[in-house]
Chain A
Amino acid sequence: MYTEKVLDHFQNPRNVGELENADGVGLVGNAKCGDIMQIFLKVNPDTHIIEDVRFKTFGCGAAVATSSLATEMVKGKTIEEAEQLTNAAVVEALEGLPPAKIHCSVLAEEAVKAAIADYRSGKLEAESGK
């Protein structure tokens, strides 16, 4: 039911783990629904480039694969570019997902955006604290 690409990302997930002193952390989903994704960002304050990214996911094969792929897609991009990430792009890059699993790609998009929002709010706090 899964494409080779999904199975590859599930078996060999890219960028798994946590980042200490991350500049932005996004946590979405809940255990009740069976999916939780957490994304950690390391952002260069001058260039706005996402220099490193990690994820941790509790969920099905599609949840793991979409998080893995989303981290790949935003790594090396600027915050502004990464914000343009859509779940459709994640699905396309995975060469498709079963209909019941589309929500996993939505969650991956939301996790990235939550991490970016967290980075921005942290930056604001830092600036207002000056």
Chain B
Amino acid sequence: MQKELMKNVYLDNAATTKVRPEVVAAMLPFYTESYGNASSLYRFAQEAHKALEDARATVAKCIGAQANEIIFTGGGSEADNMALRGVAKAYAKKGKHMITTAVEHHAVLHTLEGMAKEGKIELTVLPVDEFGQITAQQVAEAIRPDTILVSVIFANNEVGTINPIAEIGAACRAADVLFHTDAVQAVGHVPVDVAEMNIDLLAMAAHKFHGPKGVGALYVRKGVRLPPLITGGGQERGKRAGTENVPGIVGLATALEMQVAHMQEVSQQVQTKRDRLIAGILETISDVKLNGHPTQRLPNNVNVSIRYIEGESILLMLDLNGIAASSGSACTSGSLDPSHVLLAMGLPHEIAHGSLRLTLSEFTTDEEVDYVLEILPEIVKRLRAMSPLYTK
């Protein structure tokens, strides 16, 4: 029986999201009408300048910060780089020890590993538990007199596990050590309050919450010394050179404001679909395991390992059926090792190779969830039939 195919079932919202039409509408005038350089003096540029500062105030409000603590960047990776490299430079006199986790996004992990290799820092990489989580106690125990920064991912991009950020923040504050969090997957999806959580530095990216690509922000708590990463002109109070991307920044602020306004309601809806998807997969497919924390996870993240088959084949089959998803398999990354996150959680290689990530958004429909639950078991059956590992 030929099933009716659906098209463009987009379940890779951890990779990037659709820009809301309202966000595009808010951005457009700053391309075609008020396109003045926000740093210019004349009146023509004043609207752009005002939009920039309004956006800064909006973003600050959404995460419990002050407007002058927000620096706009060219994305999440730049924000992470600015925080990590900046602290290493500004606090070199205090020490060169930094602490992070084994499940960071590569924007943090590769940056820190590179800095350690160059001798700029000494790095401690904390292991995680089976869910990909670390504890505040682990952090507290790893802090040394020469520790200058702790960097912990707020919510993991692969498995969706949320770390105990407030507890870690309190432990860092008590030890007088700066705390940075890569909150790229968390901002706009779960409550974030930098003051309450004792966060000193926080990175976000607009395109993960229905804003445009190529724009992000770094929160830098007042009093934290941080040199610019991009040098040149005096934009962003001398912290980030380059003509301000006013349309992008307006898009970021508009998208974030909309996310935060309806966060509780929307995340509940998305989470209901997530849980239906997880339950359906566990029910209809044998030898499958949920990766990541069962409850302390992003409302939109599903990550499973399906035994005896390989992730890229699953993705290709899904794609042929109109479904866009992601995998932690080595074959999608071009290396021989599967996801460092899954390996750090203790998954054996062959099981990590068979991982599948489905990330929803509020635009995901119930019909799409049903469709995946109809298609996926068939794909698994087909791939297992040709797998030498599957002997049942």
Residues of A near any B CB (own CB < 8 A): 2, 7, 10-11, 13, 16-17, 27, 31-38, 55-64, 100-101
Contact = CB atoms under 8 A, between A and B. Distances in A.
Given A58-B310, A59-B310, A34 B385 contact: no
Given A34-B331, A100-B334, 12 more contacts: A31-B349, A31-B389, A33-B336, A33-B349, A34-B310, A34-B350, A34-B353, A56-B386, A56-B387, A58-B310, A60-B311, A61-B331
The CB with the most chain A CB atoms within 10 A, among B331, B334, B350, is that of B331
Interface residues of B, number: 22
Nearest to A38: B388
Nearest to A59: B310
Nearest to B327: A60
B348 to A, nearest CB: 8
Given A31-B349, A33-B330, A16 B386 contact: yes
Contacts of A11: 320
A34 B330 contact: yes
A64 B349 contact: no
Provide the main secondary structure of the chain B interface.
loop
Q: A13, A27, A33, A101: which has the most chain B beta carbons within 10 Å?
A: A33
* Top 9 A-B residue pairs of the complex, sorted by shortest distance between their CB atoms: A31-B350, A60-B331, A60-B312, A56-B388, A100-B334, A32-B349, A38-B388, A34-B353, A61-B316
Kindly name the residue among A7, A13, A35, A61 whose own CB sees the greatest number of chain B CB atoms within 10 A: A61
A59 B313 contact: yes
Contacts, number: 71
B334 A61 contact: no
B308 interface: yes
Contacts of B388: 27, 36-38, 56-58
A58 B336 contact: no
5 contacts: A34-B353, A36-B389, A56-B386, A57-B388, A60-B311
Given A34-B330, A100-B334, A13 B389 contact: no
Nearest to A6: B316
Interface of chain A, main secondary structure = mixed
A30 to B, nearest CB: 8
B338 interface: yes
Contact of A16 (B313, B336, B385, B389): B385
Contacts of B309: 58
Nearest to A32: B349
Contact of B338 (A27, A34, A62): A34
B392 to A, nearest CB: 14
A61 B353 CA distance: 13
Contacts of B198: none
A34 B320 contact: no
B313 A61 contact: yes
B329 interface: yes
A27 B389 CA distance: 11
Nearest to A16: B386
A62 B385 CA distance: 17
A2 B334 CA distance: 14
Max count, chain B CB within 10 A of own CB: residue among A7, A57, A59, A62 = A59
A60 B389 contact: no
A65 B196 CA distance: 54
